[in-house]
Amino acid sequence: MKFFITGGAGFIGCNSADHFLEQGHEVVIFDNLSRVGGQANLDWLAAQHGTARLRFVRGDVRDFTALTGSIGGADVVLHLASQVAVTTSVQNPREDFEINALGTFNVLEAVRQVCPETAVLYASTNKVYGGMEDVGVVEQETRYAYADYPCGISESAALDFHSPYGCSKGTGDQYMLDYARIYGLRTLVFRQSCIYGRRQFGVEDQGWVAHFVIAAVMGRPISIYGDGKQVRDLLHVSDLIRAYELGIANIDRLKGQAFNVGGGVDNTLSIWQEFGPLLAELAGHEIPVQRGDWRPGDQRVFIADTRKAAAELGWQPHINPSTGICDLYEWVAGNRDLFM
């Protein structure tokens, strides 16, 4: 098959490209190389696989002409290109809208006009569920927990877009579902939680697991906002890619649906009260941190209910956070030159 991956030089994109190239597929990476680490990821892919089945197109999802000129012949589109930070969306909401909302619309229109039988998978976000201020939370010794949702938040939860980022990603989410309904496109939406793994160049406001690991290895400061008991469900990138594979295999049966794809209740950590000791054990010393006030809209808990993905895709995560974070730490420690 031929895969067309928008944002393919990014963290999830390059890991996906690596996986599908390893299986013998063709991959076209469509990326504007605006993210830190993009060129390094491209160079790594070329070194791993050569260029016979790997092609790079330097392009931007805001450029409809560039998309239509490159997407032809694709069997699968992984639409991963995105503006990814809430803070950036607040600072520049127009750019955030143009990349996430207009960019996704452009991808859908390119598929509809050029290759309407193509399977399209969209990397959405759990931020489409908003702040969930009405969800009860209880405080425990090292973490917060839901009072009434033992399996996490399901796809039936009301959508409640918060921040320009939530609005723009949610717009793309809903366009994907509607283009299946109205035009019959073979789309799937994956509402992704905290994805982490090798080749992630995380920063403070996006990719926090990798950011903490990189900071610990490189001796850089870490800031913790709030009390560090905030809980997130973590999903290793290899488990995410297995979900992509299962989605592609079942696209005709499941098209036009949204799935929560996260670590679920079995793969959670509080962001510092539990993550900090794990990181200190890996580093062999305590990790100093700076403390700051709670940030507006910072959820005490987000855990995805992944039972629909288990039932419909036959999918569940295999890599627990301890194993995955240890692997990420070893990769960062062995590739310090990438973070200089």
Q: State residue 158's pLDDT score.
A: 94
Report field, pTM of the whole predicted structure over 0.95: yes
Is residue 149 annotated as a catalytic residue, yes or no? Answer: no
Q: In the structure encoding, which two tokens stand for residue 32, read together? A: 């504007």
In b/e form, how buried is each residue of 48-73, taking b as 16+ CB within 10 angstroms?
ebeeeebebbebbbeebebbbebbee
The domains of the chain are located at 2-339
Between CA 315 and CA 305 the distance in angstroms is 13
Q: State residue 335's pLDDT score.
A: 97
Q: State residue 299's pLDDT score.
A: 86
Cα Dmax for the chain? 57
- Catalytic residue (choose from 165, 175, 179, 329): 165
What are the strands, taking DSSP E only, across 1-157? 2-6, 26-31, 54-58, 76-79, 119-125, 137-139, 144-146
Q: State residue 298's pLDDT score.
A: 80
Please compute, for residue 222, the number of CA atoms within 13 A of its CA located in the half-sphere on the CB side. Answer: 25
Q: What is the full per-residue pLDDT of the chain (340 aa) written as tens digits?
A: 999 999 999 999 999 999 999 999 999 999 999 999 999 999 999 999 999 999 999 999 999 999 999 999 999 999 999 999 888 999 999 999 999 999 999 999 999 999 999 999 999 999 999 988 889 999 999 999 999 999 999 999 999 998 899 999 999 999 999 999 999 999 999 999 999 999 999 998 889 999 999 999 999 999 999 999 999 999 999 999 999 999 999 999 999 999 999 999 999 999 999 999 999 999 999 999 999 999 877 889 999 999 999 999 999 999 999 999 999 999 999 999 999 8
Strands 76-79, 119-125: pairing kind:
parallel
Between CA 128 and CA 165 the distance in angstroms is 9
User: What residues have CB less than 8 Å from 209, skipping those under 6 apart?
Assistant: 194, 196, 200, 202, 234, 275, 325, 328
Between CA 338 and CA 340 the distance in angstroms is 6
Q: State residue 205's pLDDT score.
A: 82
Q: State residue 133's pLDDT score.
A: 86
Q: State residue 99's pLDDT score.
A: 98
Between CA 325 and CA 160 the distance in angstroms is 31
Q: Which helix (H) or strand (E) holds 89?
A: helix 86-91
- Among 254, 256, 250, 4, which Cα is nearest to 111's? 4
Between CA 195 and CA 100 the distance in angstroms is 18
Class of domain 2-339: alpha beta
